């Protein structure tokens, strides 16, 4: 391949999407696999993204009346057993602590000892342990609603893992709330789904579809599971956040009871909702290109990379002095509520090496500064959303305004681009043949990127859903809230249906 057309990431998305994904993470230095099977090390550039996600969401949680708290990482096995569906759903992926210490064995190694009377489950989710606290905290309707959020790590012993998308241990937030009525708990779970959807749109620049899961995809023990679904660039769906209406199931299991306004004892109505480090996976797959990570400015760890260009010590002093003026322009600058961070890259590498380094990291703007720019009182600005070679000369006095308005522009372009991609790959399908053709790769040996979101009719029978999954690995991602009320026939069995649902292959 000629240097002109060389991409920073190999293979490209078209060549091998899964491998491309791994390479983007590596090239941006976001995370790596650890020696612990299925667990990742999140490196500073990746962790900063997570911190930005936390910061933005935490404010929204606070604004909607929630307070942060922290509960134990260990859940007694007996707690876990109280909600039967819940146990069944998570039993196969639990890490269990059975011993409390290590002792020398005869051969210079260590053996486990001190068996616990009751095994402890490393939390795969905290409904039961938080429920136990809620049971103590709630006595009267005056104690409700109880609106708690926890930022935590959790463990789900997955068979197969992929950085950010599915790891045995991951970081997330889990909101847990208790209410005095069905309506209020339902409203809460829908409200938090909106918070997630708005966040995905406004910060991650990812359009999502809000909807409800079918019974087979529902959270174990929940009455309703709501979700936001996003389309990745390989046209597969990624569940990016969930919110559950738990009815009184968990309240009954944990004994969350209160005296209501009529003086009667009643079980509380609860909800739970969460997003995880998986959002970073969504971010990568929604926007990144064959030159590496692409970051919406609102979630980027840093916004501007300053790259001084010089040939000798004399020029260096001169150029660095000018660069300082540039970085000073952005000192303590806020843009749309976000603190602007600059990266000064003085490393002894060629200009192009430093440029590509920041392209691969997805930094929104690169500012090159050399003797020629200084002579004309300007700098060269390059945008991550444009061709790597494209640069714009900007006068120093206009630079700050130019950069800030360009960040807004880039943020918007990424969203519009992702939205257009989803629209382009979303279809209405009414015939079974067409449906099967849509989800079948032309090249069986090396499947090309194919498929997308299909709005099709479904009769509501789990057997039809199962059929599609078995035949095509396609599942119902959700029953969208914005559904068309329309009579039709089930894509599988042909029986009458009154709504379209969204089908897709998913992560």
Partner RNA sequence: CGGGAUGUAGCGCAGUCCGGUUAGCGCGCUCGGUUCGGGACCGAGAAGUCGGAGGUUCAAAUCCUCUCAUCCCGACCA
Range 276-335, binding RNA (CB under 7 A): 276-278, 291, 309, 311-312
Binding test (CB under 7 A) with RNA, winner from 15, 139, 140, 352? 352
Compute the distance between CA of residue 215 and CA of residue 481 in angstroms, rounded to an integer: 16
Residue with smaller CB distance to RNA, 332 or 446: 446
Binding test (CB under 7 A) with RNA, winner from 13, 123, 156, 244? 156
Residue 44 region by backbone torsions, left for phi larger than 0, else alpha for psi between -120 and 50, else beta: alpha
272 binds RNA (CB under 7 A): no
Residue with smaller CB distance to RNA, 389 or 442: 389
353 binds RNA (CB under 7 A): yes
Binding test (CB under 7 A) with RNA, winner from 92, 332, 442, 446? 92
Shortest Å distance, C-beta 454 to RNA: 19
Q: Is 129 exposed, middle or buried (0-12, 13-18, 19+ CB in 10 A)?
A: buried
Task: Count how many residues are written for the chain.
Answer: 507
Which region among 144-152, 190-198, 272-280, 435-443 touches RNA (by CB under 7 A)?
272-280
> What are 306's two structure tokens?
């300053």
Compute the distance between CA of residue 454 and CA of residue 3 in angstroms, rounded to an integer: 39
Residue with smaller CB distance to RNA, 299 or 374: 374
> What are 455's two structure tokens?
């709005």
Q: What are phi and psi of 434, to 5 degrees?
A: -65, -40
Q: How many chain residues bind RNA (CB under 7 A)?
A: 53
Contact flags string 468-507 toward RNA, x per CB under 7 A? -----x---------------------------------x
Compute the distance between CA of residue 58 and CA of residue 251 in angstroms, rounded to an integer: 26
Triad 476, 479, 483: Cα angle to 5°: 130
Compute the distance between CA of residue 171 and CA of residue 149 in angstroms, rounded to an integer: 14
Which region among 53-61, 85-93, 250-258, 397-405 touches RNA (by CB under 7 A)?
85-93
Residue with smaller CB distance to RNA, 103 or 314: 314
Shortest Å distance, C-beta 141 to RNA: 32
> Coil, helix or strand for 3?
helix
Which region among 182-190, 247-255, 345-353, 448-456 touches RNA (by CB under 7 A)?
345-353
Binding test (CB under 7 A) with RNA, winner from 72, 76, 371, 460? 371
Shortest Å distance, C-beta 473 to RNA: 6
Shortest Å distance, C-beta 430 to RNA: 26
Integer angstrom CA distances of residue 13 from 9, 54, 180: 9, 29, 50
Which region among 75-83, 89-97, 246-254, 260-268 touches RNA (by CB under 7 A)?
89-97
Question: What pairs with residue 500 in β-bridges?
Answer: 457
Compute the distance between CA of residue 402 and CA of residue 419 in angstroms, rounded to an integer: 25
Q: What are phi and psi of 417, to 5 degrees?
A: -65, -45
Residue with smaller CB distance to RNA, 13 or 457: 13
Compute the distance between CA of residue 443 and CA of residue 437 in angstroms, rounded to an integer: 12
Compute the distance between CA of residue 194 and CA of residue 316 in angstroms, rounded to an integer: 51
Range 157-186, binding RNA (CB under 7 A): 158-160, 165-168, 170
Residue with smaller CB distance to RNA, 425 or 475: 475
Compute the distance between CA of residue 141 and CA of residue 268 in angstroms, rounded to an integer: 9
> Coil, helix or strand for 99?
strand
Compute the distance between CA of residue 344 and CA of residue 392 in angstroms, rounded to an integer: 19
424 binds RNA (CB under 7 A): no
Residue ranges that bind RNA, judged by CB under 7 A: 3, 6-8, 18, 33, 37, 89, 92-93, 156, 158-160, 165-168, 170, 217, 219, 239, 242, 276-278, 291, 309, 311-312, 350-353, 355-357, 359-360, 368-374, 380, 382, 388-389, 391, 473, 507
């Amino acid at each position: 391949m000629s240097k002109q057309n060389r991409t920073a990431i190999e293979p490209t998305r078209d060549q091998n999407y899964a491998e491309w994904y791994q390479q983007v993470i590596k090239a941006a230095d976001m995370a790596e696999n650890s020696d612990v099977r299925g667990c990742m090390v999140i490196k500073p550039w990746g962790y900063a993204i997570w911190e930005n996600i936390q910061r933005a969401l935490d404010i929204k949680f606070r604004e909607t009346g929630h307070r942060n708290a922290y509960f134990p990482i260990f859940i007694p096995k007996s707690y876990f057993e109280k909600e039967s569906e819940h146990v069944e759903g998570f039993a196969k992926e639990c890490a269990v602590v059975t011993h409390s210490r290590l002792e020398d064995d005869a051969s210079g190694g260590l053996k486990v000892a001190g068996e616990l009377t009751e095994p402890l489950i490393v939390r795969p989710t905290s409904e039961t342990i938080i429920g136990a606290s809620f049971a103590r905290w709630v006595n009267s309707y005056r104690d409700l609603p109880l609106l708690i959020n926890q930022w935590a790590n959790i463990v789900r012993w997955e068979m197969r893992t992929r950085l950010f998308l599915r790891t045995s241990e991951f970081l997330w937030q889990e909101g847990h709330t208790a209410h005095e009525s069905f309506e209020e708990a339902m409203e809460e779970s829908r409200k938090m789904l909106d918070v997630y959807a708005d966040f995905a749109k406004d910060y991650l620049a990812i359009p999502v579809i809000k909807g409800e899961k079918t019974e087979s995809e529902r959270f174990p023990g929940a009455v309703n599971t709501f979700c936001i679904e996003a389309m990745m660039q390989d046209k597969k769906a990624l569940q990016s956040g969930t919110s559950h209406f738990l009815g009184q199931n968990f309240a009954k299991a944990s004994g969350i009871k209160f005296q209501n306004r009529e003086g009667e004892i009643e079980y509380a109505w609860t909800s739970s909702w969460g997003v995880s480090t998986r959002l970073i996976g969504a971010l990568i797959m929604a926007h990144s290109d064959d030159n590496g990570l692409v970051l919406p400015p609102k979630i980027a760890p840093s916004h501007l990379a300053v790259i001084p260009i010089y040939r000798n010590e004399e020029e260096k002093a001169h150029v660095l002095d000018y660069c300082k003026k540039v970085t000073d322009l952005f000192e303590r600058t806020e843009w749309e509520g976000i603190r602007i961070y600059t990266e000064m890259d003085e490393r002894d590498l060629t200009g192009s090496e430093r440029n590509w380094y920041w392209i691969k990291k997805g930094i929104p703007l690169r500012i090159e500064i050399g003797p020629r720019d200084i002579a004309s009182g300007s700098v060269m600005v390059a945008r991550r959303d444009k061709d790597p070679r494209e640069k714009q000369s900007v006068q120093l006095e206009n630079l700050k305004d130019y950069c800030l308005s360009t960040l807004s522009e880039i943020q918007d372009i990424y969203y519009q681009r992702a939205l257009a991609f989803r629209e382009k790959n979303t279809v209405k399908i009414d015939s079974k043949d067409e449906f099967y053709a849509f989800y079948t790769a032309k090249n069986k040996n090396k499947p090309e990127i194919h498929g997308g979101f299909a709005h099709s009719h479904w009769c509501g029978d789990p057997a039809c859903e199962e059929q599609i999954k078995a035949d095509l690995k396609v599942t119902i991602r959700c029953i969208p809230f914005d559904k068309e009320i329309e009579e039709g026939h089930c894509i599988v069995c042909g029986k009458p249906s009154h709504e379209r649902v969204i089908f897709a292959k998913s992560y």
